[in-house]
Amino acid sequence: MYGIFHVEIQHYIETQYGRDLWTAILKRAGLKNRIYMTVSTYLDSEVVEIMKAASDLTGVPVETLLEDFGAFIVPSLMNTYEPLIDPKWSMADLLLNLEEAVYRVIRTRSPGAHPPRMTFERVGPHQLRLHYDSPRRLPALAVGFVKGIAVYYDETVDVQTQKNPDGSVDIMITMITYG
């Protein structure tokens, strides 16, 4: 996974819980003295190990940490990938164009990055269904992304998650303030 995730997890932990906890998390996760850089790629498993250690040390469930972190990283991703995002887009436009306009370019230009295959489908004037079926199985992170994007676009959203028997997840997004 792209280093921006690891760098931002450090930023997230340090902002929410302080620098000492970050040092303790790295130690507990067997990653003592690890330094993350945005320009590198690192193992996905390090994200999971860091979140498990963070959960052990804070008592906050891993799912809650992942969701919170998903919302936290949105402004930084939107900033990094700004040239790919049409400023005229609404939240719904961004989601419906994400694969074509953003992820396709990331896949081509950054061979180390493997953004998830997701489909967004409009199911009503104010409602989109996101089908998330990544082998990384990080649906809580996906929910956090949705919530962070809503904050970015100043939208109020209701997000309902349904787990499917095949391990994929459907996320129903209702945009309450969508004009």
**Which residues lie near ligand HEM (CB under 6 A)?**
1-2, 77-78, 81, 95, 98, 102, 106, 113-116, 134, 136, 138, 141-142, 145-146, 149
Residue with tokens 């199911």: 123
Q: Name the CA dihedral angle for 29, 35, 39, 41, rounded to a multiple of 10 degrees.
A: -30
Q: Which is nearer to ligand HEM, 60 or 84 (CB)?
A: 84
Q: Of 1 and 13, which has the nearer Cβ to ligand HEM?
A: 1
SS3 label, residue 87? coil
Task: Quote the least distance from Cβ 121 to ligand HEM, whole Å.
Answer: 13
Closer CB to ligand HEM, 18 or 61, in the complex: 61
**CB nearest ligand HEM: which residue?**
2
Nearer to ligand HEM, 23 or 31 (CB): 31
Q: CB 75 → ligand HEM: shortest distance, Å?
A: 10
Compute the distance between CA of residue 104 and CA of residue 37 in angstroms, rounded to an integer. 23
For residue 124, CA distances in Å to 46, 109, 121, 127, 165 come to 38, 34, 9, 5, 25
Helix, strand, or coil (residue 16):
helix
Nearest distance, CB of residue 28 and ligand HEM, angstroms: 23
Give the angle subtended at the CA of 10 by the CAs of 146 and 99, to the nearest 5°: 30
Q: Which is nearer to ligand HEM, 23 or 127 (CB)?
A: 127
State in angstroms the smallest separation of the CB of 108 from ligand HEM.
13
